[in-house]
Amino acid sequence: MPRPLARVLTLLELLQSGGIRPVSELADRLNVDERTVRRYAQRLLDIDVPVESVRGRYGGYRLAPGYRLPPLMLSDDEALAVLLGLIAGRRSGLTAATDTASETASAKIRRVLPERLRRRLDAVLGSLAFTDPPGTAPAPDPGVLLPIAEAVHHHRPISMRYTAGDGRRSERTLHPYGVVAHAGRWYMTAVDPTVGEDRTFRLDRIADVRILPGSFAPPEASDPAQRVLTGLATAPYRHEVSLRVQGAVGDIDARLPAGLALVSQRPSPDGAHPDADPWCRVDLRVDRLDWLPAVLASLDRPFVIDRPVELRGLVEAFARRLADSARRSPPPD
């Protein structure tokens, strides 16, 4: 898009935010002089956009009251960002809509775009390839997500029905304080006022959400994302793994799967060299152990397996396979 036209559209976007925008402010935002701002305003008038000039100390430009802008005006960058966002969200399972809603939204955006831009976007979308399969997690129901988000924003209690993983159903009154998307699923963090404890709920298991009268104070220093990760890491699994790994907490945590590991600093042993790397405790709860040896090898740090004993055997077998591969001669040409 030519730069002057892009700036004219940017001027329109600034004016549609409402109120009177001083010419000096518009010039700064557009990175042009005030005379150019007036010329751009005239170009909008030429295409029947009712831009009004307001004189006086606090004067500037504004849109005429009641004017409705065209339904969609996107630059190349904006259109590409929206369409790629819909595709990425649909594939990862994080789009807050059904597949049909995402497809119809994409179709509506493409339908109102100029032919030149539509052809360019079709070329981009037609050339994309993905190395992972689309997400299979169910998208959140807008009838669940929207009232929960509103309740979180305004600190309002809710009532809802919930179906647990084992099929048990319950009706609950909660104080929601966060909505988190993680690994293709959506979660709500909330305080259960009947027991005064934090809880985490999957949105795809929630139904019949109602916002209740009243308000509540959210927990101080609450971090919904960390609450979800901690809840997932402490959920019951088949194997409980305990390790000691030498290295900084942040470095180790970044190399382990989010939501499965809890990493904490261990005190330095007596007599340890002051420049030596610290040791951390790592706790994991997993259903299978066979993938852990490769993860531990990728840490590239000294580690000690406290439990379970069978993990030590898996690590030793993995090390032998690596050593055998390293010693293997290449096949003849």
pLDDT bucket at 269, cuts 50 / 70 / 90: low
Residue bearing the bigger pLDDT, 234 or 200: 200
pLDDT at 9: 80
CB neighbours (10 Å) of residue 42? 12
Which pLDDT tens digit goes with each residue over 230-263? 877 777 777 889 999 998 888 888 888 766 788 8
Question: Three-state DSSP class for 208?
Answer: strand
Tell me how far apart the alpha carbons of residues 323 and 333 are, in angstroms, rounded to a whole number.
23
- 216, 175 in Cβ contact below 8 A? yes
Which pLDDT tens digit goes with each residue over 44-63? 888 888 899 888 777 789 88
Over pLDDT 70: what percentage of the chain? 82
Q: Supply the pTM of this predicted model.
A: 0.52
Residue with tokens 């309740």: 151
What single-letter amino acid sits at 33? D
Element (H, E) at 241: strand 239-246
pLDDT at 226: 86
β-partners of residue 241 are: 284
Q: What are phi and psi of 267, to 5 degrees?
A: -65, 145
pLDDT at 179 over 60: yes
What single-letter amino acid sits at 23? V
CB neighbours (10 Å) of residue 127? 7
Tell me how far apart the alpha carbons of residues 2 and 87 are, in angstroms, rounded to a whole number.
28
Q: How many helices (H) and strands (E) does the chain have?
A: 11, 11
Residue with tokens 């994080």: 94
pLDDT at 1 over 50: no
Tell me how far apart the alpha carbons of residues 123 and 16 are, in angstroms, rounded to a whole number.
32
Which pLDDT tens digit goes with each residue over 86-111? 776 766 666 655 556 666 677 777 77
- 165, 119 in Cβ contact below 8 A? no
| CA diameter of the chain | 87
